[in-house]
Structure 1
């Protein structure tokens, strides 16, 4: 689709938060088809091998003399899902993984140690680490691990047992008790859970080779939304929001993809609560009518990756309808276009503030953004999050819908480079045509571009409404902001 160029000028003395003039694709988004399951597994395993090379550097960065994970089938450590091979669907028996700095592979060649061993080399730092991998539900596991630990003598053995951080608390309580009992003294006394960023940074890091497919998945998400919010799917007066949700699920299934949550399609009412409309959509379906502003929250799951996208659509009334826009310049009322533009402005603010904030906490970024919003009189909410291996993934949270000053624990995490992030927010704008304040929720995924030291859109961002057009009509020209 042709996307309008939206250029914002901030008030004098306000720090610029602008991105490039054009930040959305100029061609219609296309569907992408996954390769065969066998080829998908090869791709995912290559990504996994590439990501494991960062472990030596992470061990040194976070002062870990060893990193231990242990789990049983259906009670896996959260980090296991980022470490497993593509053909592993759960851990087998008791699966125990130990990482120690340096090349200790000679221990793995000992007749007394049956663990599978692998030396990981970080090409960036030149550091190495050894992985010991046991699948064993006998007491012999603990005897072997004691021998390895005695050889390397780690002072701090990091485990994932933090209290408040899901990606660093994956060792189940029963497994932790078994590990302590099995290791005995002195090793049980050297287990520590005070290094949560080790697990978080491993899960958060997205290796460069993933980006090409992540961009394809994001474009596919756009393609599904573009078709869903069109006259090919929506017939005003008969199609319900639930009909569109299930159509999106079916369309994804046709692509051999799935979603990590039920798509949420809702009608945003003038002056009403967006979150109330979303909640209503979970229990009852609204019939879509001419003049409705539509919202969708939609995420794709494929190849071990997840996307998260929120877009807006408008159901264009036919000529002669009392709700038909009469300006002649656009099929969408000017007030709604201004609302979308305000959402784009908050996206620019968030993304560009993040580009200056690697290493700073999510709460610090939130406070910086809120300060600009307060100074400029911009109304809205920020609630952005990491994405990647999970929909709500490991990393700093920048606000929550009910926490706009600071987010405990998750907001205190630092923003990391080399990860994917969902810029999720809403703008609140008074719409003259409806004589009411309306909410404009948007969400797009970004990635860290190490070459430019900036966060950039994975595929683009919405700058023009998806249109459900009356039969026989086509969209008019896109408008620049100065025409609004």
Structure 2
């Protein structure tokens, strides 16, 4: 998390920027606009509808993984991770002891799910009676030691479950990690229109933040823009799941291609003034309606009087190169393959095309880093233990997050070009598609000719 910074210079000097800014969208043909959220009551209705759609899928998931029953139990403020995917919109935590039981194939006309909010032994008495009638051969518990979405049962609550249902059922307990993973990962189709709107809102905030409306070269700093973004999110009644970051890719001390110096995810990276000729980068996401976006874009600060024709050619080539790396990864994301298999295939292909960089993709949606297979990490480019061995699932959202290295002659150095865009699985095309789009054109911060120095001659 970044430390606080004073915004005293953020808007100073903006009045002198009299030249109108022609919109240069980051994706061809797209001009993102902020999308207004519905009322809280309407949001709750949407959320509860999506949750019911998801709950209806659980019995068939139990059958898919050969499990007869799934038991979750938690106390207030010690919730199982999956609880947050199953709760009602107006629930802000579990209450008392909150327990759920799901059955794959209930007999005798019994329901397929049960829930209790109870602080007496009634819950255990009911459970023992149901189990005695249904006679499940296996009961899944969320006890995985490595996967957060399959390991949310607290140790003390496990003891309470064993004591409550009795030793006779303990031998039926099993671990099936894909239950928690797939329930949380599954994004029902009716969520996509609102996810698109959220992604468009994220793009719109980035494009405003990376403009001369907000950035005053020589005065605005990277932390100023980060905190402007936070304030902007708040003013729109959205929130976020991480502190926005703004980095100056061409600044001294920024990470070199070998990863030395301050990394892009370093929460204490230095606060630099933004200058003419800087290549700047943001990692940014918004949260609403139980969903989270994740986007990384880059922009260039034009010298006074410059136009898009004056952007260094090497920087435009770097953007094209990272776009190609996005294509490589997306094309290798085959349903059913593990993240490590996708990582291996993608790295082999990028190396055959002479691209150097790193791949670190993850599921997103319900959580920012959500349930699903991980395709590389910044420090794990050969394979990711455990999470990289999970299979890639349909009906989820993924952030294709990565960077490509490119030598920029105009700066006489190799610069990293990060990008991140979210995708969804499209049944119609049988492929991953961008939720809103992807950055293919540089964001430009324009300045009138009378406002500062001219560009230096090319190196």
Provide the TM-score with structure 2 as the length reference.
Answer: 0.89
1:174 to 1:241, Cα distance in 2 relative to 1, 3 A = same
Aligned equivalent of 1:238:
219
How many Å separate the matches in 2 of 1:201 and 1:104?
25
Q: Secondary structure at the match of 1:64?
A: coil
The 5 A counterparts of 1:350-369 are: 350-354=329-333, 357-369=334-346
1:472 to 1:133, Cα distance in 2 relative to 1, 3 A = farther
Alignment partner of 1:222 is 2:222: no
The 5 A counterparts of 1:190-205 are: 190-193=172-175, 195-205=176-186
- Given candidates 362, 370, 383, the residue that maps to 1:385 is 362
How many Å separate the matches in 2 of 1:435 and 1:415?
40
Q: Deviations over 1:304-333 (max 9, x none)?
A: 0000000001111114xxxx6xxx871311
Report the CA distance between 1:137 and its aligned residue: 1.5
- Given candidates 67, 82, 98, the residue that maps to 1:64 is 67
1:472 to 1:59, Cα distance in 2 relative to 1, 3 A = farther
Provide the TM-score with structure 1 as the length reference.
Answer: 0.85
Aligned equivalent of 2:13:
none
Report the CA distance between 1:102 and its aligned residue: 3.0
Aligned equivalent of 1:336:
315
- Given candidates 305, 309, 313, the residue that maps to 2:291 is 305
Unpaired stretches in structure 1, ≥5 consecutive residues: 5-23, 108-118, 120-129, 474-484
Aligned equivalent of 1:115:
none
Aligned equivalent of 2:7:
none
Q: Secondary structure at the match of 1:69?
A: strand
Q: Secondary structure at the match of 1:341?
A: helix
- Given candidates 149, 158, 162, the residue that maps to 2:144 is 162
How many Å separate the matches in 1 of 2:28 and 2:266?
33
How many Å separate the matches in 2 of 1:442 and 1:62?
36
Asked if structure 1 preserves the Cα contact closer than 8 Å seen for 2:60 and 2:104, the reply is no
Which stretch of the first structure deviates more once superposed, 132-141 or 221-230? 132-141
How many Å separate the matches in 1 of 2:308 and 2:123?
73
Q: Secondary structure at the match of 1:202?
A: helix
Aligned equivalent of 1:40:
43
Q: Deviations over 1:32-76 (max 9, x none)?
A: 010110010001111111111111210100111100000000000
How many Å separate the matches in 2 of 1:316 and 1:410?
42
1:86 to 1:251, Cα distance in 2 relative to 1, 3 A = same
Report the CA distance between 1:471 and its aligned residue: 2.9
Asked if structure 2 preserves the Cα contact closer than 8 Å seen for 1:265 and 1:294, the reply is yes
1:105 to 1:238, Cα distance in 2 relative to 1, 3 A = farther
How many Å separate the matches in 2 of 1:170 and 1:207?
23
1:375 to 1:279, Cα distance in 2 relative to 1, 3 A = closer
How many Å separate the matches in 1 of 2:266 and 2:148?
29
Q: Deviations over 1:12-36 (max 9, x none)?
A: xxxxxxxxxxxx3513100001011
When the two structures are aligned, how many residues end up with a matched partner? 423
Report the CA distance between 1:435 and its aligned residue: 1.0
Unpaired stretches in structure 2, ≥5 consecutive residues: 1-22, 451-459
Aligned equivalent of 2:32:
29
Q: Secondary structure at the match of 2:309?
A: coil
Superposed CA RMSD in Å reads 1.7
